[in-house]
Amino acid sequence: MSAQTAIETHKLYIETVGCQMNMLDSEMVVASLRQQGYELTDSIDEADTLLFNTCSVREQAENKTYSALGRLRKAKQEMPEKIIGVMGCMAQKDQQLIFKRAPYVDIIAGPGQLKEIPDLIAKARSEGGQHVAVGLGRKDGKVADIKRSHETFDPMRDPSMRPTPFQAFLRIQIGCDKFCTYCIVPMTRGPEQGRDPQMVYDEAVILADQGCKEITLLGQTVNSYKHVAADGTTTRLADLLVKLHDIDGIERIKFVTNYPKDMTYDLLTTIRDLEKVSPYLHVPLQSGSDAVLKRMKRGYTVADYREMMARINETLGDAAAISSDFIVGFCGETEEEFQETVNLVEECRFKNSFIFKYSERPGTKASDHLPDDIPHDVKKRRNNELLAVQNRISEEDNQKFLSQTVQVLVEGPSKRVDAQINGGGPNPETGLMQLTGRTHCDRIVVFEGTERLIGQTIPVGIYEISAFTLIGTVITDHAVSQSLVGLNG
């Protein structure tokens, strides 16, 4: 190749915080930059382009990014040719404020402007100056224009950026219209839009061709997914699951995050009847108090949530694994209200829960109208208390897996520190290493095996459990034929 036609190579460093949406966005930005000759590096010093994919859901997530940017102040002074970019939800929320706090940032791109990033970088490099591309605010124009400004360019995929080569996220829904009073997401990700089912299907086929066995459909309220075609045909999540179920090579289909009010019978029976669809449902409850749920404007009551749990139990029975999110210390939360949450966790017996301390987000209804009046140490105590209850329940419920055999999709070497006898590599004498994977119901399983098991779905017999992990041994064909196995996972 002559010097004139050679693609200029650049070194890209990318740091991603936040939810699965952000992981997917980073995957696509890397894919588009790779096409332009970029190579990934995990060294900030080596990189000539640094991107921060950011989250605004809690203040702590933003502080983390601002500290990371702060640490680059000197590097940028010494090497002004390094391009620094901020993308994602904080880019959309803070916009020019980022330049105020970190004046050496070169580009800012919202979650709907991913496809503009290569051009923004090129412009900053050739012309200098600061460049911004963000979506429209929720009141800044016609709905169609606002929606367009938050769209993404999903078909561009890069297998190397995935959780593993055989697992991928697939966006089916953009944005959110629920406007829970504490939440910034409707502002950062724009209006709710269901992606065209044919586009989703085509993308799933590409993923399957690339060797992907498990896809996780993404949406803020994924089970509210709805797409109305030009001819009036309406597609809901259940229809989409049926369509995706036919794709050869895809073994498991998961979807997050669910909204309690939209967990319909129709959807649940579809999940029950399609064997590739995981009976794992992440349905955040947020609080067990009706008064708090009302202040949060979640749009359901405790009674509604109980009815949903009954529907799930009726349709999926023991196979179902339900997980939740909680916010403790939301505006005005009394001890009694918190206790109602503890009681409901005891009652619902979630597989696991993510518990967060309320963090006031400027621009939300709660921030405008409700005082953030629960002291930090009270939030912390409630967080620990609820977590202890949840962990006890998780451990108790995992007992049912003892002496059972579960089907595990093997993801790779275990990251458990206590499992890394050989720095995570194979034992030189036995060739075995600590591997990890998940059951169909999303439970983490750790066991010993050879590297060639990675990417396969295999039976593992469980002999030990903790709140977070099932520990087992791979069942060989010989052992399977000798034992009566309950395929529970």
Binds ligand F3S by CB under 6 A, chosen from 30, 89, 283, 446: 89
As measured in angstroms, the least distance from the Cβ of 219 to ligand SAH is 8
Answer yes or no whether residue 22 interacts with ligand F3S by CB under 6 A.
Answer: yes
Q: Between residue 184 and residue 203, which ones bind ligand SAH under the rule CB under 6 A?
A: 185
Contact 84, 71 (CB under 8 A): no
Question: Which partner in ligand F3S, ligand SAH, ligand SF4, none is near 18 (CB below 5 to 8 A by kind)?
Answer: ligand F3S
Query: ω into residue 54 within 30 of 0, thus cis?
Result: no
CA 420 to chain CA centroid, nearest Å? 26
Total number of residues that touch ligand SAH (CB under 6 A): 16
Rounded (5°) CA angle 419-421-427: 115
Question: Which partner in ligand SF4, ligand SAH, ligand F3S, none is near 22 (CB below 5 to 8 A by kind)?
Answer: ligand F3S
- Quote the CA–CA distance of 273 and 315 in Å, as a whole number: 10
Q: How many helices (H) and strands (E) does the chain have?
A: 17, 21
Binds ligand F3S by CB under 6 A, chosen from 21, 91, 114, 419: 21
Binds ligand SF4 by CB under 6 A, chosen from 66, 179, 354, 463: 179
Residue 428 burial class via C-beta count within 10 angstroms: exposed 0-12, middle 13-18, buried 19 and up: exposed
- Quote the CA–CA distance of 137 and 360 in Å, as a whole number: 20
Question: Which partner in ligand F3S, ligand SAH, ligand SF4, none is near 359 (CB below 5 to 8 A by kind)?
Answer: ligand SAH
As measured in angstroms, the least distance from the Cβ of 18 to ligand F3S is 3
Answer yes or no whether residue 18 interacts with ligand F3S by CB under 6 A.
Answer: yes
Element (H, E) at 418: none
Answer yes or no whether residue 219 interacts with ligand SF4 by CB under 6 A.
Answer: no
Binds ligand SF4 by CB under 6 A, chosen from 91, 108, 183, 277: 183
Residue 6 burial class via C-beta count within 10 angstroms: exposed 0-12, middle 13-18, buried 19 and up: exposed
Q: Between residue 404 and residue 433, which ones bind ligand F3S under the rule CB under 6 A?
A: none
Q: Indicate the angle between helix axes 237-245 and 197-209, nearest 10 degrees.
A: 30
As measured in angstroms, the least distance from the Cβ of 290 to ligand SF4 is 17
Question: Which partner in ligand SAH, ligand F3S, ligand SF4, none is near 179 (CB below 5 to 8 A by kind)?
Answer: ligand SF4
**Residue among 157 and 361 whose Cβ is closer to ligand SAH:** 361
Binds ligand F3S by CB under 6 A, chosen from 56, 289, 324, 383: 56
**Residue among 359 and 407 whose Cβ is closer to ligand F3S:** 359
Element (H, E) at 164: none
What would the DSSP string read from start to end of 315-368? HHGGG-EEEEEEEES-TT--HHHHHHHHHHHHHH--SEEEEEE----TTSHHHH
- Quote the CA–CA distance of 352 and 409 in Å, as a whole number: 20
Kindly report the number of other CB atoms within 10 A of residue 483's CB atom.
13
Residue nearest to ligand F3S (CB): 18
Answer yes or no whether residue 186 interacts with ligand SF4 by CB under 6 A.
Answer: yes
| Binding site residues, ligand F3S, CB under 6 A | 18-19, 21-22, 55-57, 88-89, 184-185, 188-189
| Binding site residues, ligand SF4, CB under 6 A | 176, 178-180, 183, 185-186, 220-221, 259
